[in-house]
């Protein structure tokens, strides 16, 4: 039987992770992932025992700087950072913590929230990486911005003025607070958007503070889920002003927890904590009835726990795959091709092994880092592309999001000894089939070039 590789080349807005600040994750019970190689690898040196989400930050080369669970900060050597304990957060506080750089400095803000809209509220803490011989020190902590807060934080980089927006939600009303961070520091006076539903109540009391709030990777949308009320709210986001607009409210998803956009923001995914259902919504038509009508269960993020807790928080990885927490499991579920509709998104329940480490409800979060770039900058950057299934048997799909439109792409396949076995000249866009029936079973490396620049490479296993 002829074996083929199908290449699906997708072009979309020229936005991307410009650097590798998001390439190391630590979360759960000493679980972790390293995204610096051709394929992500499990890590086991982390010190977290975190029920919910953590936050890690690396340098531009992907080297770990520090990480936190909202209560404690660990340095790159996995020891508690100087003055890094006693943060007024909670490692059971949903989106517990988020590390956000202060641009053009060696300073970092850590934002934390309390559990169940608790009195400790929304705080910031400051890390100075120039101290302790580069291991860093917490130089200011437990600075209260307001209380009570929901368990929601996200942040996004604005390349237009080299700043970050940090967004959260007050408890008891419909107020989103959006704070700006520039090279001058944090502006403690937020941009306020009174929009959407009031976040209050829940069963038990305070449970409507739960639910994931996440920006789309292109910075145009924000999703927020409300746990007990079963609400999924989508808003437009203005990167220039920090304001939200155009609310779209969808109900009927009780115990909704995790949420994530596909990398091109054409699809939205949510996970239901107590049923293991993972839903996909098509956002191509901006109409609530149409979006609701597109709801499709694309998989089940199962758990063997007797607690009834199953599918947790979602996170779009640096490789543009969506990872899903599974309670008390040593594998994450993975959506391999989030841009594609229905079964073509390729959901895999045991999608990533944590090498016998355990996940709980959360994963690891960093700010959404996007850069608008011209062709030359694009070509000098490494583009992540997804490849699945891997190992391949009948066929394998490749997804290349970062391409210069109209320019020929060279796809080369080399064997484990580095000998080139096949070259294919194709154009971006559409579906392309590359025949590999002449290649023997074994390990190969697929590289992608455009305008003489290598955009990326990945390992492919062919099994027959």
Residues 6+ apart with CB under 8 A from 119: 147, 148
* One domain for residues 386 and 350: no
* One domain for residues 258 and 309: yes
* One domain for residues 326 and 436: no
pTM: 0.80
* One domain for residues 368 and 410: no
Whether the bond into 391 is cis, omega within 30 of 0: yes
**DSSP codes of every residue in 363-383:** -EE--B--EE--HHHHHHSPP
Residues 6+ apart with CB under 8 A from 190: 177, 178, 179, 242
436: domain range? Answer: 4-10+374-462
Q: For residue 111, how far is the Cα from the chain centroid? A: 17
* One domain for residues 380 and 348: no
**What total of structural domains would you count in the chain?**
2
* One domain for residues 364 and 397: no
* One domain for residues 346 and 378: no
* One domain for residues 212 and 350: yes
* One domain for residues 228 and 168: yes
Region of residue 436 (phi > 0: left; psi between -120 and 50: alpha; otherwise: beta)? alpha
CATH, residue 381:
2.60.40.3080
Q: In what order do the strands lie in the sheet with 244-250?
A: 213-215, 221-226, 231-237, 244-250
Q: Which of 372, 387, 415 is the last residue of a domain?
A: 372
* One domain for residues 92 and 104: yes
**Residue pointed to by tokens 């709980």:** 360
- pLDDT in 10s for each residue of the chain, 464 residues: 344 555 544 333 333 334 799 999 999 999 999 999 888 999 999 999 999 999 999 998 999 999 999 999 999 999 999 999 999 999 999 999 999 999 999 999 999 999 999 999 999 999 999 999 999 999 999 999 999 999 999 999 998 899 999 999 999 999 999 999 999 999 999 999 999 999 999 999 999 999 999 999 999 999 999 999 999 999 999 999 999 999 999 999 999 999 999 999 999 999 999 999 999 999 999 999 999 999 999 999 999 899 999 999 999 999 999 999 999 999 999 999 999 999 999 999 999 999 999 999 999 999 987 644 443 333 333 344 566 677 877 777 766 554 555 667 788 888 766 678 888 887 665 556 778 888 888 888 787 777 666 666 677 888 87
* One domain for residues 52 and 182: yes
CATH, residue 204:
2.130.10.10
Q: Which of 342, 372, 402 is the last residue of a domain?
A: 372
Q: Which of 372, 390, 414 is the last residue of a domain?
A: 372
Helix, strand, coil: what percent of the chain each, to 5? 5, 45, 45
* One domain for residues 365 and 417: no
């Amino acid at each position: 039987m002829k074996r083929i590789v199908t290449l699906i080349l997708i072009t979309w807005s020229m936005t991307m992770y410009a650097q590798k600040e998001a390439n190391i994750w630590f979360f759960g019970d000493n679980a972790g992932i390293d995204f610096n190689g051709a394929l992500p690898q499990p890590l086991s040196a982390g010190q977290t025992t975190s029920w919910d989400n953590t936050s890690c930050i690396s340098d531009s080369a992907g080297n770990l700087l520090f990480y936190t669970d909202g209560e404690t900060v660990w340095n790159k050597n996995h020891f508690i950072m100087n003055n890094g304990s006693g943060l007024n957060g909670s490692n059971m506080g949903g989106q517990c913590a988020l590390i956000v750089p202060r641009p053009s400095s060696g300073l970092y803000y850590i934002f934390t929230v309390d559990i169940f809209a608790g009195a400790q509220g929304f705080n910031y803490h400051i890390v100075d990486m120039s101290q302790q011989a580069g291991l860093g020190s917490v130089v200011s902590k437990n600075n209260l911005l307001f209380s009570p807060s929901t368990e929601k934080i996200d942040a996004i980089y604005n390349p237009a003025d080299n700043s970050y927006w940090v967004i959260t939600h007050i408890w008891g009303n419909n107020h989103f607070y959006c704070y700006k961070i520039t090279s001058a520091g944090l502006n403690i006076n937020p941009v306020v958007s009174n929009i959407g539903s009031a976040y209050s109540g829940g069963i038990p009391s305070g449970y409507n503070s739960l639910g994931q709030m996440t920006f789309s990777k292109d910075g145009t949308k924000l999703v927020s889920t409300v746990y007990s009320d079963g609400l999924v709210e989508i808003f437009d986001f203005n990167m220039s002003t920090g304001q939200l607009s155009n609310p779209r409210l969808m109900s009927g998803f009780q115990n909704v927890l995790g949420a994530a956009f596909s990398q091109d923001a054409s699809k939205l995914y949510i996970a239901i904590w107590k049923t293991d259902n993972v839903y996909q919504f098509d956002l191509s038509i901006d109409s609530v009835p149409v979006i609701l009508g597109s709801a499709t269960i694309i998989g089940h993020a199962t758990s063997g726990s007797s607690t009834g807790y199953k599918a947790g928080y979602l996170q779009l990885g640096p490789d543009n795959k969506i990872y899903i927490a599974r309670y008390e499991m040593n594998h994450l579920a993975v959506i391999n091709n989030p841009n594609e509709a229905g079964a073509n998104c390729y959901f895999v329940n045991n999608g990533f092994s944590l090498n016998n480490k355990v996940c709980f409800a959360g994963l690891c979060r960093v700010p959404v880092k996007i850069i608008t770039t011209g062709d030359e900058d694009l070509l000098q950057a490494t583009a992540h592309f997804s490849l699945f299934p891997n190992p391949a048997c009948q066929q394998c799909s490749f997804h290349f999001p970062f391409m210069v439109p109209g320019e020929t792409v060279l796809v080369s396949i080399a064997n484990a000894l580095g000998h080139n076995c096949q070259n294919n000249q194709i154009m971006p866009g559409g579906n392309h089939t590359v025949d590999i029936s002449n290649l023997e079973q074994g390990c190969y490396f697929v590289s992608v070039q455009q305008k003489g620049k290598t955009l990326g490479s990945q390992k492919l296993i062919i099994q027959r």
